[in-house]
Amino acid sequence: MDAWSRFLDAFFKWQLIERYLPAILDGMAVTVEIAAAVVITGILLGLVLAILRAFRILPLSALIVIFADMLRALPPLVLVLLVYFGLPSVGINLPSFAVLWLVLSCVLAAFAEEIFWAGILSIPKGQWEAARSTGIGFVSTLAYIVLPQAVRLTVAPLTNRTLAIAKNTALGMVIGVSEILSQATTGQSFAGNATPLTMGAIAYVILFIPVVVLGRWLETRFAWRRA
């Protein structure tokens, strides 16, 4: 057997592709579900935290900063294991799917909060002053003047961070969430062949390339009209 067929046999074995395709497709569905749930709750929670921080209530801001710094410092895998194996000891039993969703949402929220906050801070003071000088209140100024501009600035960094966190759904493997990587490694152990892992890799590319493209499109779409 020449090198080329050995390579194909190790990574692209046709019988294995056929055998494990249904499992990988199931895994893709699970990955999409968790990733979508994480993106929605993570970004919304991050936005809410950034808005709360804008009120500059000292104890509240301190809590938000601690939350954001802790969750950005800890490796997500550590959090996943800690929550999954720790919560049952205090009588809380969450399904592994829920643990993964909860942890990744909080991690994304921590990063998103920092990104939104940086966006809010980058809006010139004059924008606040102009709005306040026409009698528009703090909350409305935030809602109609500051956030629309801040959010536009955050599209690029937020897309990158969201992608990075969404890919962490692969951590579900260690707590038995049947997402792509989980299905692929199971297939690999049974077959003794890397082909299911190749399929898993391809599945990730298929899922996440469109998100990268969408991010690029959003970036141009949200740049407001210039002369």
Partner 1 sequence: MTSNRPPILEVRGLRKSFGHLEVLRGIDLEVLPQELVFIIGPSGSGKSTLLRCCNRLEEPTGGSISIDGVDLMARSTDINAMRRRIGMVFQSFNLYPHMSALGNVALALRRVLGRKRTEAEALALAALARVGLAEKANAYPAELSGGQQQRVAIARALALGPKIMLFDEPTSALDPELVGSVLKVMRELKAGGMTMLVVSHEMRFARDAADRVIFMDHGLIVEEGTPEQIFSGPREVRTQAFIAEIAR
Residues that bind partner 1 in the complex, under the rule CB under 8 A: 124, 126-127, 129-137, 140, 144-145, 148-149, 152, 224-227
We find the least distance from the C-beta atom of residue 154 to partner 1, in angstroms, to be: 14
Q: Which is nearer to partner 1, 2 or 226 (CB)?
A: 226
* Helix ranges restricted to H, the chain: 3-11, 14-54, 58-73, 76-86, 96-121, 125-133, 138-140, 147-167, 180-191, 195-222
Nearest residue to 51 via CA among 119, 102, 137: 119
- Measured from the CB atom, the residue of 91 and 135 that comes closer to partner 1 is 135
- If we measure between CA atoms, which residue out of 38, 49, 167, 212 comes closest to residue 118? 49
C-beta of 75 vs 137, nearer to partner 1? 137
Do residues 124 and 146 make contact, with C-beta atoms less than 8 angstroms apart?
A: no
Which CB, 140 or 189, lies closer to partner 1?
Answer: 140
The three-class DSSP label of residue 55 is coil
Nearer to partner 1, 134 or 220 (CB): 134
Of how many residues is the chain composed? 227
Would you call 68 exposed, middle or buried from its count of C-beta atoms within 10 A (0-12, 13-18, 19+)?
buried
Residue 194 DSSP code:
S
